Structure 1
Amino acid sequence: MSIKIQPEAIASLRGFEIPERLGFGTVMAPVMFRARYQDGRWSDGELLPYGPLALDPAAKVLHYAQTCFEGLKAYRCGADVALFRPERNAARMAHSARRLCMPPVPEALFMDAVRTIAAYCANLVPGNSGESLYIRPFLMGTQPDLSVTASRAYEFYVIASPSEAYHSGNMRLWVEREDSRAAVGGTGDSKVGGNYAASLLSIARLKERGYDQSLWLSPGNRHTIDELSGMNFFAVMDGALHTPALNGSILEGVTRDSLLTLARDQGIEVHEREMDIDDLLALVASGTCSEVFACGTAAIVSPVSELGDGESRYKLKQAPGPVADQLRRALLDIQEGRAEDRYGWMQKVQVASY
């Protein structure tokens, strides 16, 4: 599959400089990748200048939320730039697409797209530890009609943003007992926009209470822990690492899988299981649960200092704790080239010249 590089895209890259303060997802790279699906086949991809999209007002994505997305990162590893486990994101995006009755982006096209963005944006990959080029592929239905049917036309884009970690420092979590983010048999294990839209009201409420993120409970029983709005959940009890088992309403996080691999290889006892929220809060109160942290591509590892449940507040003994700190360092050491990549997670990018 060939990729067309528009001259205007190269022109937009020349002279673009990274600002001193990045934030997360606020500074956009000046280029983007696009491929289209029509009449049962994918077009070749193209690199073009970043800019507004032209959509018909009746496009399916605007009315029936037929869209999914991914998040992955390119890191600076010494003189090189490398992507972290992009094949896992390609597979997960295909899963999300199938759930929404969309044609999966072929793995070869997905990989070409993220490599192209990383190759041409290599100079935009920041060099400070914990910073990266955050890459956002997304797919949407663009057929313009209002029938409640799957679109027959789609557009696939990849944009990028030189970014800091999504949430630095400790977090305070609010146990969400009123609303559900996803339903049993729904889209909880897919990375679709509707899941995140469903979390916004809870986030707005908890911000008023001084908290940072919602801790969602299983929609099937409303008492076992699922995940945060955009991160997976971990707890440390008597030195062992516990995380909710995948159950159909939890996103299978790439960072989650990586931390579990690292923990097992470092001799940490690991449990993937149902975790009852009331049991967890009691263990935090007694001190048996010494650490809680969340993880995700954007956030990496975020320690939790407090859990809020109604009028009760549960402080963690350690935030950040030694297990979270150990796993974060081990992961970043691989991603940033300070440690041997024994797992084959990093994929070096051939930097483009222009």
Structure 2
Amino acid sequence: MNITKTEKSRIEEVDFNNLTFGSVFTDHMFFCDYKNGAWQEPQIVPYGPISIDPSAKVFHYGQAVFEGMKAFKDDAGSTWLFRPEENWERINKSSERLAMPAFPKEFFFKGLETLLNLDNDWIKAGDGNALYIRPFVIATQPGVSASPSDQYRFMIICAPAQAYYSGEVSVLFAEKYSRAADGGVGFAKAAGNYASQFYPTNLAKERGYQQIVWTDANSHEYLEEAGTMNVFFRIGDTLLTAPTSDRILDGVTRKSIIQLAKDAGITVDVRPVKVSEIVAASKSGELKEIFGAGTAAVIVPFKSFGHQEKDYELPAQEDSYAARFKKALKDIQYNRATDPHGWRYEVK
């Protein structure tokens, strides 16, 4: 691996107590180019702009996928990742769906660990502090012919982070717009999936909601994802969430919550969840919680949801599942608790 270190760190310019998510980046970045049918020598260079041809296929045909990960520092100064192999597997699954080449596991982990060691001072200890890690792949071949690129760039950039959402969150159940359709790319972390969400989300924000809970494209009868997160419902003491499919992302936080719930003896029902079922449960008082789950946000409880011009408030819970699972996850991530499933990965 070719490493070029920065001449002067920018870390002293950063106010770590007042971070806007994803807007400040560490001193270095990783990249590796694909050409002539093979991945070339990986490199780490100072963070900065890249030069790319205006006709690069990423701009014209949207061949771009990404991942979201976090690094955590415990009180002893050790750095930990959370289930990183899942992210490596998923970015390759996303790449395959967009006709992009898989990235080698050895390059992924060596590049990631080298980068984190170089920028270790940017990873702050303390509850809520983390380093958000963004691996991504873009098509770089020049030319506007409508065909897959034969050149790509894999990159990793990192941003110090605190809480993604602050305050209470109200959501709107989608009735017109859709996030994904059968046979599409909803299961992949494709850049275009997120671009298509922005317009309907802006419309929801104009009505006072922070996010949308997406419904199925065919009938809008079934609840699927919440904004950029997977979504969970608690009816009584049972936890509900939709099954993964070619429309729903197989979230790392999602599958971790399901396992933690099972470990705690909580009934987990993974099945299609009807809008009408959740509305009825809210009216009867059986609906206790709705929360979103994802890498950036971890777990976000919702205070209310809107459907067909009516808002439904969620009751406050003294011992909420959202708070319980968030604490359990963070205790594992920050090396404060045992890790029975081997989810922690130490960066050495």
Fold match (TM-score > 0.5): yes
Give TM-score scaled by structure 2 length.
0.96
Matched, 1:115 2:148: no
Please state how far the C-alpha of 1:318 moved relative to its aligned partner. 2.4
Please state how far the C-alpha of 1:335 moved relative to its aligned partner. 0.5
Change (3 A) 1:293 1:106: same
Q: Which moved more, 1:75-84 or 1:148-157?
A: 75-84
Letter in 2 for 1:342: P
Per the alignment, residue 34 of structure 2 pairs with 37
Per the alignment, residue 228 of structure 2 pairs with 230
Give TM-score scaled by structure 1 length.
0.95
Structure 2 contact 174–220 (Cα < 8 Å) conserved: no
Q: Which moved more, 1:234-243 or 1:121-130?
A: 121-130
Per the alignment, residue 66 of structure 1 pairs with 63
Q: Distance in 2 between matches of 1:221 and 1:320?
A: 36
| SS, match of residue 109 in structure 1 | helix
Per the alignment, residue 81 of structure 1 pairs with 79
Change (3 A) 1:320 1:65: farther
| SS, match of residue 133 in structure 1 | strand
Instruction: Pick one of 192, 212, 215 that aligns with 2:213.
Output: 215
Letter in 1 for 2:241: T
Per the alignment, residue 148 of structure 1 pairs with 146
Letter in 2 for 1:294: G
Please state how far the C-alpha of 1:303 moved relative to its aligned partner. 0.2
1:100-179 matched pairs, under 5 angstroms: 100-179=98-177
Q: Distance in 2 between matches of 1:119 and 1:216?
A: 39
Letter in 2 for 1:34: F
Q: Distance in 1 between matches of 2:154 and 2:42?
A: 9
Instruction: Pick one of 47, 51, 62 that aligns with 1:50.
Output: 47
Q: Distance in 1 between matches of 2:338 and 2:308?
A: 45
Q: 4+ runs of 1 displaced by more than 6 Å?
A: none
| Matched length | 347
Please state how far the C-alpha of 1:321 moved relative to its aligned partner. 5.5
Please state how far the C-alpha of 1:182 moved relative to its aligned partner. 1.4
Q: Distance in 2 between matches of 1:164 and 1:138?
A: 21
| SS, match of residue 83 in structure 1 | strand
Per the alignment, residue 303 of structure 2 pairs with 305
Q: Distance in 1 between matches of 2:61 and 2:215?
A: 26
Q: Distance in 1 between matches of 2:308 and 2:11?
A: 53
1:262-341 matched pairs, under 5 angstroms: 262-318=260-316, 322-341=320-339
Q: Distance in 2 between matches of 1:116 and 1:224?
A: 43
Letter in 1 for 2:66: F
Please state how far the C-alpha of 1:221 moved relative to its aligned partner. 3.1
Structure 2 contact 232–241 (Cα < 8 Å) conserved: yes
Please state how far the C-alpha of 1:322 moved relative to its aligned partner. 1.4
Change (3 A) 1:139 1:233: same
Please state how far the C-alpha of 1:17 moved relative to its aligned partner. 4.7
Please state how far the C-alpha of 1:129 moved relative to its aligned partner. 1.0
| SS, match of residue 21 in structure 2 | coil
Please state how far the C-alpha of 1:59 moved relative to its aligned partner. 0.3
| SS, match of residue 24 in structure 1 | coil
Letter in 2 for 1:70: E
Q: Distance in 2 between matches of 1:42 and 1:24?
A: 31
Instruction: Pick one of 232, 240, 243 that aligns with 1:242.
Output: 240
Unaligned 5+ segments in structure 1 are none
Instruction: Pick one of 247, 253, 259 that aligns with 1:255.
Output: 253
Please state how far the C-alpha of 1:220 moved relative to its aligned partner. 3.2
Q: Distance in 1 between matches of 2:72 and 2:41?
A: 27
Letter in 2 for 1:35: C
Q: Deviation string for 1:184-226 (max 9, x for gaps)? A: 1000000011100110011111111111111100123321111
| SS, match of residue 47 in structure 1 | strand
Structure 2 contact 176–220 (Cα < 8 Å) conserved: no
Q: Distance in 2 between matches of 1:109 and 1:54?
A: 22
Q: Distance in 1 between matches of 2:85 and 2:15?
A: 28
Q: Which moved more, 1:91-100 or 1:160-169?
A: 160-169
| SS, match of residue 198 in structure 1 | helix
Q: Deviation string for 1:274-298 (max 9, x for gaps)? A: 0001211121122101111010000
Please state how far the C-alpha of 1:320 moved relative to its aligned partner. 7.8
Per the alignment, residue 178 of structure 2 pairs with 180
Per the alignment, residue 19 of structure 2 pairs with 22
Q: Distance in 2 between matches of 1:232 and 1:320?
A: 23
Please state how far the C-alpha of 1:342 moved relative to its aligned partner. 1.5
Q: Distance in 1 between matches of 2:165 and 2:336?
A: 23
Q: Deviation string for 1:138-163 (max 9, x for gaps)? A: 00100011111000000011000000
Structure 1 contact 67–140 (Cα < 8 Å) conserved: yes
